[in-house]
Structure formats: C-alpha cells, structure tokens
Structure 1
Amino acid sequence: MSDEQVHEAQARIATAVHSADVLLFMKGTPLFPQCGFSSRAISILDHLGVEYATVDVLQDQGIRQGIKTYSDWPTIPQLYVKGEFVGGSDIMMEMYESGELTDLFAEKGVANAG
C-alpha cells in the first residue's frame, strides 16, 4: 500500500471509531462471523444487550491491516467504546466475566439495545 492509501485507511478507521458508542472491528458480520474470536465478541455484546456497530475487516484490506496499526494491537476483533480502544476477544471475555465490561458500558453511558 502507498503512503496515501495507508493515510486514507487510517482516516476511515478514525471516522468509524468515533461514529458509534460501541464499535467492533471483526471478521465477518454479526449474523455470520468468520472466526471464533469474532463470534465470541458478538455473543458477549449481544448478551449484555448494548447497541453496537461493526466493521467487517474482510471487506477492506486497508482497514484490515490499518486497524492493527491504529490500535497498536495485533489481532482482530477489536472493541472500541466511545472512541477508546478496549481490547480484543480475550480481554472482552475477561472483562465480561469480572463484570468490568458492564461497568465500563454504564460508566460511559452506553445505551442498551431496545
């Protein structure tokens, strides 16, 4: 990718991150996740009942590679809450099990789906 393509992908990522209170960069879609980690992340968000948006990184190679640079995190899925990087699937699971994820959503004023 050229420097211009990398910059453009980073700009699209930044726009996406700030476009939803809860955003998950994942492989596939919520109805058809393309990896077990993405599936687990969706299950957690669905179980907590929060409104969220997703970006399918498989649809855009620039975003698929760029999100790893943007967050300085090497794996996908990646969860963002109110523009802040939270973590990947393992961190989401740990936070879910300890109640921290529910607390984070409450603290940030994230709306429940409904």
Structure 2
Amino acid sequence: MTNPAHERIEKLVNANDVVLFMKGTALFPQCGFSSRAIAILDHLGLAYETVDVLQDMEIRQGIKEFSDWPTIPQLYIKGEFLGGSDIMMEMFEAGELQSMADEKSLKKAEA
C-alpha cells in the first residue's frame, strides 16, 4: 500500500537539489534548530527549498518515517538524507558541506 505523504515527500526530495524540512519558514523559523539549519544554508550561499512541517501534519509525521529520523529539521541534498541541524553543524564546521556543495555542483542562491 502506498503512503500519500511519502509520495509527496519523495517528489519534493527529487524535485529540489537542496530541500530542508523544517518548523516554520526560511524567513520565520519556529525553532532554534530550524533557525540554525537556515543560517548554515544561507552562509554557504546555496539555493534551497523549505517545507514547513507545521503547516502539514501528514508531512510532519511522514518525514520522520520516510527518513527513519525522529527529529526536524531534516536536510536532503540531491535526494540523499543528510541529517538534522546537529549533523549539518558538524559537517559545516568540518568543511564537508561546502565540499559536497562543490562536488554536486549545487546552485547558488541568487543575490
């Protein structure tokens, strides 16, 4: 049996090079972890899409099952689940996120 939430999530993940499932929006994050994740992506200068899980309970629950990861935010790059804000922070500090962005030729945000 197919899960409609999982199908929607899969489409979002596959349609965008960088997508962040978060609480709130890029302009108005609704938790500190989501705010930190946005700050990292903005610092890297990457173009990204966000999905506000607070606006959609089906997605909010579905994303946890989809990734088998219990917390939000969740970052996907080129269809691959990377992790939440703690993992993003570790990868950012180690320079791994920048390297990945370069290797995968991720689009830069428009100025």
Band the TM-score falls in, shorter-chain normalisation = over 0.9
Give the AA of the match of 2:60: R
In the TM superposition, 1:70-89 aligns within 5 A as: 70-89=66-85
Unaligned regions of 5+ residues in structure 2, if any? none
Alignment of 1:110 onto 2:106:
yes
What's the CA shift for 1:21?
0.4
Aligned counterpart, 1:41: 37
Amino acid at match of 1:95: M
How many Å separate the matches in 2 of 1:19 and 1:35? 25
Amino acid at match of 1:56: D
Name the count of aligned residue pairs.
Answer: 110
- Unpaired runs of at least 5, structure 1: none
> Does residue 68 of the first structure (1) align with residue 64 of the second (2)?
yes
- Residue type matched to 1:29 in 2? T
Task: State TM-score, norm by structure 1.
Answer: 0.93
Q: Is 1:12 equivalent to 2:47 in the alignment?
A: no
| Residue 98 of structure 1, aligned match among 80, 94, 99 | 94
Find runs of 4+ consecutive structure 1 residues off by over 3 angstroms.
none
- Partner amino acid, structure 1, of 2:39: S
CA distance in 2, matches of 1:105, 1:113: 12
Task: Report the alpha carbon displacement of residue 32 of structure 1 after superposing the two structures with TM.
Answer: 0.3
| Corresponding residue for residue 57 of structure 1 | 53
Identical counterparts, % of pairs: 67
